[in-house]
Amino acid sequence: MSNDHLIIFDTTLRDGEQSPGASMTGEEKVRIARQLERMRVDVIEAGFPAASNGDFASVKAVAQAIKNSTVCGLARALERDIQRAGEALADAASSRIHTFIATSAIHMEKKLCMTPEQVIEQAVKAIKWARQYTDHVEFSAEDAGRSDPDFLCRVLEAVIDAGALTLNIPDTVGYSVPGQFGELIYRLRERIPNSDKVVFSVHCHNDLGLAVANSLSAVLNGARQVECTINGLGERAGNASLEEVVMAVRTRADVFGCTTRIDTTQIVPASRLVASITGFAVQPNKAIVGANAFAHESGIHQDGVLKHRETYEIMRAEDVGWSANKMVLGKLSGRNAFRSRLTELGIDLGTEEAVNTAFARFKELADKKHEIFDEDLHALVSEEASSNTQQAYKLVSLKVCSETGETPFAQVVVSAHGKEASASASGSGPVDATFKALEQIIDSHAELQLYSVNNITTGTDAQGEVTVRLAKDGRIVNGLGADTDIVVASAEAYLDALNGLYNKLERAHPQV
């Protein structure tokens, strides 16, 4: 790997999934992974195989599906974790095991209950275990930003000698500031005798809004891998945003002196896909992928852009994919056009029966709206995949009445565990009435933490995409629903979240 190549390590499927309510199904993970591969991401961290059987299966599925990117699995510095990761990655065309152990005094004493010498010994063992499954092993010193620099150098020197090829220096709690963090990377590279044998990587959290700035400071000081996520998704305030890191390096090549292999025209499609699957909408003023990122309201700005784009634009909208999704399907589109577009989007429905079912839903949607965009297809496939999983609750019918001066009213029929039940309720609005009627049937006692509505595309006939976040017994689950009728979409989203609570998934994700 040349020194002017910046490796992009995407952890949307692992750290991004740690956002409360952002759990993804195995099928959704594969869909996102295929989009990341299309975007030419170097390394895709697919999950933490030892966390659960579901995570193991997801990592295995991604490893089997991806051919042109390296697939990575996370593992604690424990033999059973590493063995599990190795098994999940066995079918990958190119694999990596990412193992970690904490190196800060507070973590070693309070969390690990280990001495510094024991930590070094365990780290070395972990590298040697991982080398039995893959030649490329990455080591992370958890909480490196708060670790003693002398001890950090000792640990890193030892794991390089043991065979690690990538050293990741995470700012686990988002505490660092750019000057300090860049200096840390520079000093480590200078002080560690065998540092020229490895790639230095950074994984920055955004608690102070500095994840991208810290990552770029590290790049200026010799780091050649950045760990990031689509839309900055991740634990707490999130991670460094892939699109911001990539476009900063591309736009300011004069400063950074390195390049990525990312196909930037796939950035916006990736952003929209992740937002659709996770239910985490992108704020309009988000850099690169926000709806307003290339909008100019000021008359002076508009005049300047019309005369010469570079007066107020440092990037072209089409370079990041804003004009990439132009193929439009409609009610006259045939099965071949439908199948062809799914293939171009990296969507594999598997069986002919699944294609036929999805095509029937596509035709139903085409009767409701004039044009079907890529975003509509992603939403349709997400709903189709959800309907094929175990569903304790399904919407059978919904009737609402909303009239000026009258109290809104809803009547619902739900299939609950295979038996139909109906209920009616009034509320402050049609959605409130619908949710109250659903609760009369299901009686979940779940707490509604979020209700969000976004239009998938433009126009009054656009599908509305609803996200409902429910919490119960310490678990937080997102539900998604999409329909041209926003009340129907709301009911579907609420039931989708309830199904998520019902189909309990065991998770024990660590944080790096």
454 Cβ contact list (under 8 Å, min separation 6): 281, 464, 465, 467
H-helix or E-strand spanning residue 439: helix 430-442
Calculate mean pLDDT across residues 12-40: 89
pLDDT at 346 over 90: no
Query: Could you confirm whether domain 7-278 is CATH 3.20.20.70?
Result: yes
pLDDT of residue 385: 64
Alpha-helical runs (H) found in 282-415: 299-307, 335-344, 352-368, 374-388
pLDDT of residue 411: 97
pLDDT at 314 over 90: no
Band of pLDDT at residue 298, cut at 50, 70 and 90: very low
Strand partners, 252: none
What letter does residue 111 receive in the DSSP assignment? I
Q: For residues 127 and 357, what is the distance between their CA atoms, to the nearest angstrom? A: 47
Query: Could you confirm whether domain 390-502 is CATH 3.30.160.270?
Result: yes
pLDDT tens sequence across 434-468: 999 999 999 999 999 989 888 766 676 778 888 89
Residue 454: φ, ψ to 5°: -135, 145
pLDDT of residue 328: 65
pLDDT tens sequence across 159-198: 999 999 999 999 998 999 999 999 999 999 999 999 999 9
Mean pLDDT, the chain, integer: 88
Q: Are 296 and 289 in contact (CB under 8 A)?
A: no
Sorted by where each begins, the domain ranges of the chain are 7-278, 390-502
CA 304 from centroid of its chain's CA atoms: 36
Q: Are 48 and 58 in contact (CB under 8 A)?
A: no
Band of pLDDT at residue 355, cut at 50, 70 and 90: confident
Q: For residues 109 and 107, what is the distance between their CA atoms, to the nearest angstrom? A: 6
pLDDT at 79 over 80: yes
Q: How many residues does the chain have?
A: 512
pLDDT at 359 over 80: yes
Residue 348: φ, ψ to 5°: -115, 110
Q: Compute how many other C-beta atoms are within 10 angstroms of the C-beta atom of residue 382.
A: 22
Average the pLDDT over each of 264-273, 349-358, 488-497 and give the range with the smallest value: 349-358
Residue 258: strand, helix, or coil: coil
pLDDT at 9 over 90: yes
